[in-house]
Amino acid sequence: MSGSPLDPQTLQAVATALEGAERVLFITGAGISADSGLPTYRGVGGLYEDAPTEEGMPIEVALSGRIFRTRPDLSWRHIRDIEGACRGAQPNAAHRFIADLEGRRPGTWTLTQNVDGLHRAAGCHNLIEIHGTVHGLHCPRCGWRDRVSDYAELPALPRCPDCDAVIRPDVVLFGELLPPAAVATLQAQLARGFDLVFSVGTSGLFPYITAPVLEQADCGATTVEINPGETELSHRVDHRIQAGAAAAFTALAQLMAGR
Q: Known catalytic residues? A: 131
Distance between CA atoms of 81 and 118, rounded to whole angstroms? 17
Q: Which helix (H) or strand (E) holds 171?
A: strand 168-171
In which order are the strands placed within the sheet that holds 168-171?
A: 145-147, 132-138, 168-171
Among 88, 85, 90, smallest CA distance to 44 is for: 85
Helix (H, G, I), strand (E, B) or coil at 240: strand
Among 171, 177, 218, 225, smallest CA distance to 194 is for: 218
